[in-house]
Amino acid sequence: MKFEIGDNITVLLTNEDGKVTDIIDEKMVMIEVKGVKFPAYTSQIDFPYFKMFTEKKIVPKKKIFIDDVRKEKPSRKVKTGDGVLLSFVPVFDKDVFDDDIVEKFKIYLINQNEEGYEFTYNLYFGGENNFQLKNKIEPLSDFYLHDVNFDDISDNPRFEFEFSLAVPDKRKSDYFEANLKLKGKQLFKKIEELQIKNEASFAYPLFDFYPDKTAEQKIDPITLGLNKLGSAGFRIYDSSHAKKHLTSPRSVVDLHIDKLTDSWKHLTPFEILTIQLKAFEKFYDAAVAHYQPSLIVIHGVGEGRLKDEIHHLLKLRKEVSSFVNQHHPLYGYGATEIFFKY
The confidence score (pLDDT) of residue 153 equals: 78
Which pLDDT score, from 0 to 100, does residue 64 have?
45
Question: Does residue 236 sit within a domain?
Answer: no
Q: Check residue 328 and give its pLDDT.
A: 83
Report the CATH number that the domain containing residue 292 is assigned in CATH. 3.30.1370.110
- pLDDT at residue 54, as a whole number: 46
Residue 312 gets the label, from left (phi > 0), alpha (psi -120 to 50) or beta, of alpha
Q: Please, is 310 exposed, middle or buried when counting C-beta atoms within 10 Å of its C-beta (0-12, 13-18, 19+)?
A: buried
Question: Which residue range is the domain that position 33 belongs to?
Answer: 1-78
- Range with the poorest average pLDDT among 192-196, 296-300, 335-339: 192-196
HEC letters along 152-182: HHHCCEEEEEEEEECCCCCCECCCEEEEEEC
pLDDT score, position 237? 57
DSSP 306: H
What does the pLDDT read at residue 303? Answer: 77
Averaged pLDDT, 291-320:
89
Number of structural domains in the chain: 3
Is 225 inside a domain boundary?
Answer: no
133-137, 190-194, 199-203, 217-221: which range is least confident on average?
217-221
One-letter amino acid at 273 equals L
Measure the CA–CA gap between 163 and 108, rounded to whole angstroms: 15
Residues 95 and 203 grouped into a single domain: yes
**Res. 242: pLDDT tops 50:** no
Which residue, 31, 59, 78, sits at the end of a domain? 78
* Neighbouring-strand partners of residue 8: 19
Residue 320 has pLDDT above 80, yes or no: yes
Q: Encode pLDDT of 14-59 as tens digits.
A: 888 899 898 888 888 888 888 888 888 888 888 776 555 445 444 4
Q: Within this chain, do residues 114 and 180 fall inside the same structural domain, yes or no?
A: yes
- Classify residue 140: in a domain, yes or no: yes
Question: What was the pLDDT predicted at 174?
Answer: 87
pLDDT score of 6 more than 80 = yes
52, 88: one domain: no
Alpha helix ranges (H) inside the chain: 49-54, 184-197, 221-224, 226-231, 257-260, 269-289, 305-314
Q: Residue 212 pLDDT > 50, yes or no? A: yes
> CA 306, CA 17: separation in Å to the nearest integer?
61
**CATH number, position 74:** 2.30.30.30
pLDDT at 131 over 70: yes
322 and 289: one domain? yes
CATH number of the domain residue 153 falls in = 2.60.40.1600
pTM: 0.48
* pLDDT above 80: residue 197: yes
What pLDDT does 75 receive?
A: 44
Q: What's the whole-number mean pLDDT along residues 170-191?
A: 85
